[in-house]
Chains A and B, each alone.
Chain A
C-alpha cells in the first residue's frame, strides 16, 4: 500500500476513466468503481461524434472553443480511438442562409478551421449526399469509439497503479460525521473481473477523497451521501439508429439551429443517425419509442436519401445527464447548457472530501478530468502536473495499419486492417499467437486472438468483450457469433458460465435489434431465430430453461442400436408404432 492519498472515483464513463487516468498519472492511489461495464451510462450510448465545436459555434461559443482544443488533443493521444473523418454542415434549400453565415462566422471566432464547399464539391466527396444540398461548411469533426477510449484510459490508469472494478455498484457512501471516508460496493462477482455465477461480496473501500462522476446517477449517489441539497440531474433521452453500412464517411450535420435528427456519424463499419431530446424521469427506465426511430430515418433522408431504403441493424437510447445550477429554471430540456459543473460538496453542502462533477460532454472529458484532478490535488495538498494531454493512451503509440497481415499473422488484409484499427499499437502483441486463429465474428472481422484478448480484460462478460472487439455488432447482430464467442470462454470458464454469458449477450443484442424489425433485418432476425431455435433448440434447452426431458426412453432409441444398458433399441420403449409392427 502506498503512502499516497487514495482517491475513489465512482463511475466508469468517460469522465470517471479520464479522472482515474489523470490522478494515477500524477502519482495518486486511485480506485475506480463502476456499476456495470465501463461506459455503462451515457458514454456507452452516444453517437460517437468527436466535436470540432461547430455544433456550438453559434449558441455556446465557450463550449465550442473547448471542443476544438480537445479535438486536437484527442486526435493525438487517442489516435486508435479516433477516425479523422472530417465533418460537413450542409445547407438544404429550405435552410436559412443567415444561419449558414452565422455558423461560418461562429466557427472562425472559435478558431475552428473551416472551408466552404459547393454542393457539387461536397457530393464529390460524399456521393450519397442529397442532390439539392446547396453548399457546406467543412469542419474537423471526427468519429470516436467511446468504448475503446474508456478502456484505454482505464488501462492507462491501471498501468499507473490504479484499481478498476466493474460490476461493482456503490450501495452506500461511508461517512464519519460530516466527512466522507469511502464507499461500500456490492461486487456482482469477485472482486476482480466479472465471472458469471461466481458469488459477489460486499466491500468497504476507504479513501481520502471521493469523486462522484456518475452522470445521470449523480443524484442517487448524492442521496447516499446524505446531501441535503439534491443534485438535480435532468435526464434527457435520445435515440441512436444504427445503419448496417456506411452511407457516408464524413460526419454530416444539418446547418440549422439545434433540433432533432440532424446528424449522421460514420462509426466503425456503420453510420449512426441521431438524435432526439426528451426529458425522462428515470435514467434506467424510460420508453423506447417507435416515432423516434422513424423520425431519424424520415428526417435524415433529406440529407442522405439512400438512408430511407437502407438497412438498420438496431436502435438504442442514451440518457444525457443534463444539469443546471438550481434556480436557472430552464423549461425546455433541449435548452439546458452542455457545460459541466464541479460541485464541491464541502462548500455547497458542508460535506467534506466529496466532489461531484455533472453535465459536460464526451469530447471534453479529458479537460473535465484535468479540472477535477486539479481540484482534488489542491484539496489533498498534492503538487503534480497534468500530463494527460501529452502522453498517448495505450494503443495509440505510433502504429500503421499498412502492413502485410497475411505474411505477419496469416490473416487476410481487410481483417488485419480492421483489427489494427481497433488495437492500434497493441496489434502485434494481440495477433501474434500460436495455433489456429480463425475469425470468430465475420461481420466485424474479429479473430479469435482479439476475442481472447477481450476476455482477458473482461472476465466472462461477453458484452464487455463485445464492447472491446465489436464482435456481434455487425449485420447479423450475433446470429452467427454469439455461440462462437461463448465457445471461446471455455476452458478458462466452465460450461455453465459460458452459457450464462451467451444467453446474456443474445438477449442484449435482441434488445436493440428489435427496433429494426422490418425488411432485411427482420429477415435476418428470422434466420437467427431459426438457427438458435429450430437448429440449436436453445429456446427449450433442457439444461438452461424450464423445459425438462423426463424420460429419454420414451423416444426413438435408434434402429439396430445396441444401448449398453440393455433396454432394447426399438421394441418395447417407443410410445406407439405404426402399422402394428
Chain B
C-alpha cells in the first residue's frame, strides 16, 4: 500500500539512496517526434501564448523548442538547446496550437533527452531538480515529524542555506506540513461512510492534498459523500508532474507504474478516478498516454476526472448551488494552466456565480508563473515573478480578498504575491452543500 502504511520501514539512508544518479537511461530511439513537426504551419500562436517567452529574453518559445528544433534534428544530433530547461511545462502552447502539434510532448521528450545527455548528474542543479521532482519522498519524511519539519523549514538559516547550496529561492515560504496527513485522517476515520458499489469514485489526492492542504482532501470526501458516492483511496504515488518538467522521465515512469496498476484496479471495479489537483488530472489524462506505454494507461486516461468536472456532468450541481447560500465572501479566481488545457478554466466561475452570497471574479488568463517546481529554482525565481505580475495585479484590483484555484502551486504563488488566503473550489462547495 502507500507510504503512510510503511512508517516503521522508514529509514533516512533509504531515502538518500533514492537520489543516487541513475547510470543508463533507456535510449530514446522510439521517441522520434519529428513527425509531430508535420502539423505545424508556423502560425506562432504557441509563441504568443507562452508566458516564459514573454518575459525571458533567453527563451525562444515553444515553436522553436518544439517543431522547429525537432525538424532540424538528424538522428545522431544530440544537442538540444539548453533553453529547454527554461520551459515551465505550463502547456499553454498545446492549448493555443490550432494544428494540434504535440508541443508539450515534444518539449517533455527533448527535456528528458537533454537531462540524459547534458546534465551532470553530480551537479547541484541536477540534485536539486531531482529533489524537487521527488517532492513526495521529501514530504513523506517531513510529515513524520510535521511540527519539527515546519519549524526547521521556517528558520531563516534554512532558507539561506537552501538558496546558497541548492539554489532554492529564500524568498519563498516552504508549504507547511499538516499535523495529520490525509491518508492518516482517512484511516482513522475508517474510510468511506457511504457504501454504494454502483457509485464509486477513486480519489487521487496528489502529494499536496495528502501532506499539506489536507482540508482539500477532506472537502472532496465530504462533498462526494453528500452526493451519495462511496469514496475509495487506493495506493498511489506522485502523478509525476514535477518529474516531467525536470526531464526526470525515469522517475516519472516508476511512479506511473504504481498509479496505473492501483487505479486501474479500482476502474475495473467500476469506479471513476477523481483528482482535485488539475496538474494531477492533466498528467493522468495526457502526459501518461503520451510518454509511457504501460498497460492500462489509456483506460486510466479515459476514466480520470477533475473533481468539479465530474460533479457537473454526473450530478445536478448547478441546481444544488442555486438552492444554497453561504456567508458573503468575494473570491479572485485564477484558472491554472493545466486546467485550461482540460477545458476547465471557466467551470468554477460559471458555477459559483449562481451561489448566493458569493462574488467571484476571474483574474484573467495569465499564467501564475510558478509552474510547479519552476518557481522554486533561484535562477527561475525572477522570471516566475515577472510572469505572475499580471495575475497579482488583477488579484489586487479584483473585489475579492480571498483567492481561489485548483492547483496547489498556483495557490502558493497567489499567496506569495498578494498575501491572500487561497481556497480550493471543493472547500467552497463543502461550505455550501455539506
Contact = CB atoms under 8 A, between A and B. Distances in A.
Do A and B touch, yes or no (CB under 8 Å, in the complex)?
yes
A524 interface: yes
* CB-based closest 5 A-B pairs: A249-B75, A311-B38, A245-B34, A524-B41, A476-B42
A246 B71 CA distance: 8
25 contacts: A127-B30, A244-B37, A244-B38, A244-B71, A245-B38, A246-B34, A249-B74, A306-B35, A310-B35, A402-B79, A412-B60, A413-B79, A414-B68, A414-B69, A414-B77, A417-B79, A443-B71, A445-B68, A475-B40, A475-B41, A520-B39, A520-B99, A524-B41, A524-B42, A527-B42
Report whether over half of chain A's contact residues are helix, strand or loop; otherwise say mixed.
loop
B29 A527 contact: no
A443 B39 CA distance: 13
A480 B63 CA distance: 14
A124 B29 contact: yes
A83 B74 contact: yes
A412 B43 contact: no
Give the contact-size bracket for chain A: 20 to 34
Nearest to A128: B32
Contact of A475 (B30, B37, B79): B37
B353 interface: no
B75 A475 contact: no
B72 interface: yes
A414 B83 contact: no
Contacts of B41: 475-476, 520, 523-524, 527
A419 to B, nearest CB: 10
A568 B159 CA distance: 69
Nearest to B41: A524
Given A475-B41, A524-B41, A418 B64 contact: no
B81 interface: yes
B81 A127 contact: no
Contact of B38 (A266, A442, A520): A520
A30 B42 CA distance: 45
Contacts of A402: 79
A414 B72 CA distance: 7
B164 interface: no
Interface string B275-290: 0000000000000000
Interface string A414-457: 11011000000000000000000000001111000000000000
A469 B76 CA distance: 22
Given A311-B38, A413-B81, A523-B99, A269 B72 contact: yes
Contacts of B37: 244-245, 475
Contacts of B254: none
Nearest to B42: A476
Most buried by B among A245, A306, A417, A480: A245
B82 to A, nearest CB: 8
B397 interface: no
A417 B38 contact: no
Interface of A: 83, 124, 127-128, 244-247, 249, 266, 269, 306, 310-311, 402, 412-415, 417-418, 442-445, 474-476, 479-480, 520, 523-524, 527
Contacts of B68: 414, 442-443, 445
B73 interface: yes
Nearest to A143: B74
A329 to B, nearest CB: 45
Given A124-B29, A417-B77, A445 B40 contact: no
A474 B40 CA distance: 11
Most buried by A among B34, B38, B39: B38
Nearest to B79: A413
A480 B42 contact: yes
B77 A475 contact: no
Most buried by A among B34, B41, B60, B81: B41
B38 A269 contact: no
Nearest to A474: B71
Contacts of A474: 71
Most buried by A among B30, B32, B81: B81
Nearest to B75: A249
B100 to A, nearest CB: 10
A327 B30 CA distance: 55
A523 B100 CA distance: 13
Interface string B228-245: 000000000000000000
A396 to B, nearest CB: 18
Most buried by B among A83, A311, A412: A412
Contacts of B73: 414
Given A414-B69, A415-B72, 20 more contacts: A124-B29, A245-B34, A245-B37, A245-B38, A247-B34, A269-B72, A306-B35, A310-B35, A311-B38, A414-B72, A418-B72, A442-B42, A442-B68, A443-B42, A444-B72, A445-B72, A475-B41, A475-B71, A476-B42, A527-B41
Interface in B333-349: none
Contact of B79 (A249, A414, A523): A414
A318 to B, nearest CB: 24
A127 B32 contact: yes
A412 B35 contact: no
A417 B37 CA distance: 19
Contacts of A245: 34-35, 37-38, 70-71
B42 A310 contact: no
Contact of B71 (A128, A269, A306, A523): A269
Interface string B220-233: 00000000000000
Nearest to B39: A520
A124 B29 CA distance: 8
A418 to B, nearest CB: 5
Contacts of B29: 124, 127
A417 B72 CA distance: 9
Nearest to B30: A127
Contacts of B70: 245
A479 B30 contact: no
Nearest to A311: B38
A19 B75 CA distance: 35
Most buried by A among B60, B72, B81: B72
A355 to B, nearest CB: 41
Contacts of A269: 71-72
B300 to A, nearest CB: 26
A531 B72 CA distance: 25
A418 B60 CA distance: 17
A517 B380 CA distance: 44
